[in-house]
Structure 1
Amino acid sequence: MNVQEVRKQFPILHQEVNGNPLVYLDSAATSQKPIQVIEALDDYYRRYNSNVHRGVHTLGTLATDGYEGAREKVRKFINANSTEEIIFTRGTTTALNLVASSYGRANLGEGDEIVITPMEHHSNIIPWQQVAKATGATLKYIPLQEDGSIDLADVEETVTPQTKIVSVMQVSNVLGAINPIKEIAAIAHKHGAVMVVDGAQSTPHMKIDVQDLDCDFFAFSGHKMAGPTGIGALYGKKKLLDNMEPIEFGGEMIDFVGLQESTWKELPWKFEGGTPIIAGAIGLGAAIDFLEEVGMDAILAHEHELAIYAMERMSEIEGLTIYGPKKRAGVVTFNIDDVHPHDVATVLDADGIAVRAGHHCAQPLMKWLNVTATARASFYLYNTKEDVDALVNGLIKTKEYFGDVFR
């Protein structure tokens, strides 16, 4: 992969921030967008902006073809069996809430168990807390190893015949840990439970094959994978989606409406009430085209190399702690002794370096780490070793600055 050629496709990277070249290390929060995605959105709004499915005029047909064509691109990208199994949503959060509200509430009761982990993003904790309260089910947590990884023996011990749902992120947005989803799914299925996967941090960076993983539901967001904000997708096995009820009602998702009763469209449209996110889906399709052209294996290898290089360079800084296992995705979360992460991020920003600081929507994990917040550098296909060097120099500068302040 030629990183310099890749970088040329991202207009936002070619600017200065606070008088310095932008070093963008916050892709786990949201990725930047290549020109192909920007142009796809512009083309839709300039040339064939229209609603989908309902109209027979030319613009409506073009918009429908673009929207449904994007669904096929998503299906192929994650290797789903059918486009009926691809539901467009606003993102991972909406997708997980759909599963919890539709499948969870209908299939859980007193004495049943939901199993997740302490490393989950709030979007994969709060929906299950709410479902547990509503149904009387119990929410259980798979314990983490000392480095934040998951041991399958702990999964075996936590998942029981009473477990009905197991929901785990494939890649941690804090620790960078890559969880053994295929093996966890096998354990869940052995006990008759369904497997839900938060793929927000994995889908942008590695090949996803939902059939190989044998997960029952898989959720991800477009904006983390070079696509627009406000669009994502939920994959669900058809046999499960067929038996689930919609949670949004109105136009687009209905078949027949009477004065007292209504019926729903077939999959996938019964879950897509209202005017769908047409431009977002088309932009997501363009992002998938771009990522496939670069190559998902090449992207993963590049980020792995950057993560190793970053941890090696950052470990040279005395008083800097890196969280998570050695084997990880392109995320390095850290703290500097006696310096608040927000102060770290502020000093780095003065040099044009963008990192994330806070609890990263993972407060239970922060408590497990015994910290209130951390700083996080996250890498994507457009980052370079020079970006890492800039980060390290900025961290040394930060440490020296606050050392002088408190000396």
Structure 2
Amino acid sequence: MQPSELRVALFSGNYNYVRDGANQALNRLVGYLQRQGAQVRIYSPRTDKPAFASVGKVVNIPSVPFPGRGEYRLPLLISPHARTDLKKFAPNMVHVASPEFVSHRAVTIARARGVPVVASVHTRFETYPRYYGLTFLEPAVAAILRRFYRRCDAIFAPSESMAQLLREQRMNYDVGIWSRGVDHEVFTPTRRSMDWRRALGIHDNDVVVGFLGRLVMEKGLDVFSDTIDRLRRRGIAHRVLIVGEGPARAWFEQRLPDAIFTGQQTGTDLGRALASMDILFNPSVTETFGNVTLEAMAVGLPVVAARATGSESLVDDGVSGRLIAPGGVEAFADSLATYIGDDAMRRAAGHAGATAAQRYTWDAVNQTLLDAYLRIAEHRRSGGKPPKGPLG
């Protein structure tokens, strides 16, 4: 089978109405597939004010604001219009990018029509309840995810550490890697700007500990704040720079009144903001890859991160940064203090990270997924059987 024979239906709960690493990766994938001659149709909720222009034709999926997190949309159903469009498009590959109601239905329709299905895993949904006092729900969420992913022909994780976790959780028997790339023209050490730092009130000899990401509790904002408190109590001089936006911003600003908040940055402005930090601190355990970790490495920053899926596949502990047990506030503070106090160590770790980041390019990682599409489609076309479902 050739790429030009592919007709891919992509189902996503968020393709472009809120900017995040997952949907930007999906947009890059669609652009790459189209350049290789494949046809792609996206089925996703749409809004009047999207966060960025989408790539490809998007068919609207009816949705409502997600309870308690109104910036996100909850897809409700595959409407008659979308169902008619899907039938006319006649995909020979279905890609589901989020395990919500509509994607469950899309898998059912695909299986009924004999169309192979792949799923990409973008976040650890089973960990979310712990950030809202609902830890007891984690086993139930994991069971629902297992039922969903086992109905797919294959699933793809963005890192080997996440892929191994999915295997251990028995989510599917065919677990592949669809990694992430980095735009080396945007994320480069040359974007560092002392003038930009000075405009924010940062002195040239200040060491800046940075955070980059959506300001939501599941990004580990509590651990970040507690760690900064430890540094201050120890009398370790530093500045804190927060780049990002989200519903927890007011909480974060109150928790870190001396931090500098820039709001959301994009494009070369984001590259400048990240390169103008001195250390990236990423305590999150919910990412399956950690785009911000890779971007920080690309601009030459040492990264202090939680030893969790994603980051542990990127950060070479003790070389390009430090990996600390999740929630280990004292250990996080120790590592940050070491980098703050040792310019040579900070530069060496940043250089190691920038060197490692060079091998991550978008075209290479998207070609890997395209090859997997073709392998799975050819297997099914030659008489291969679909997965049996939840019981394997």
Q: TM-score, normalised by structure 1?
A: 0.30
Which has the bigger relative contact order, CA under 8 A and spacing at least 6?
1
